[in-house]
Homo-oligomer: A and B are copies of this chain.
């Protein structure tokens, strides 16, 4: 795969209701922060779930991983870095890193994997055409795959 890196930086603000009784952001809340990053990426690069949905493709999450390094507390703001991982399988993969804006500490890392379903909810084993074209447009397609497209 080529070296183009697509990445967004998304600002998040810790809500009072994000914080648990230990005084830190509840670990499950980070799944929303990852989604904030992924949605922001999708909006910027025109590859959000609605872009797929209007082409008859669903992109459910099939795997989430989150590693917690340091806590966030009420009042903190943070940056979610969302990187598109250009994998060869028929999947959409992102990696995430969350940094505290105050001191640039790494707060958490994570990853998500999505697959393609048609509207009958059947797994699509190949890349949807829309996704191949999207990859090509962003310089993420290998020569061999470009050949297959034509």
Query: What residues on B are CB-neighbors of A139 within 8 Å?
Result: none
Known: A20-B17, A32-B17, A39-B15. A64 touches B66 (CB 8 A): yes
Please give the count of copies of this chain that the complex contains.
4
Query: What residues on B are CB-neighbors of A23 within 8 Å?
Result: 21
User: Contact string, A57-93, partner B, CB cutoff 8 A, digits 1/0?
Assistant: 0101111111111010011000000000000000000
What bracket does the count of chain A residues touching chain B fall in?
20 to 34
Is the pair A60, B17 in contact by a Cβ cutoff of 8 Å? no
Query: What residues on B are CB-neighbors of A74 within 8 Å?
Result: 21, 50
A139 to chain B, nearest CB (A): 27
> Can you list 26 contacts pairing A with B, beta carbon distance less than 8 Å?
A15-B36, A15-B39, A16-B20, A16-B35, A16-B49, A17-B26, A17-B32, A19-B21, A20-B20, A20-B21, A21-B21, A21-B23, A22-B58, A27-B61, A27-B64, A28-B64, A50-B74, A60-B68, A60-B71, A62-B67, A62-B68, A63-B65, A63-B66, A63-B67, A64-B64, A64-B68
6 nearest A-B pairs in the assembled complex, by CB-CB distance: A28-B31, A27-B61, A19-B21, A64-B66, A65-B65, A62-B68
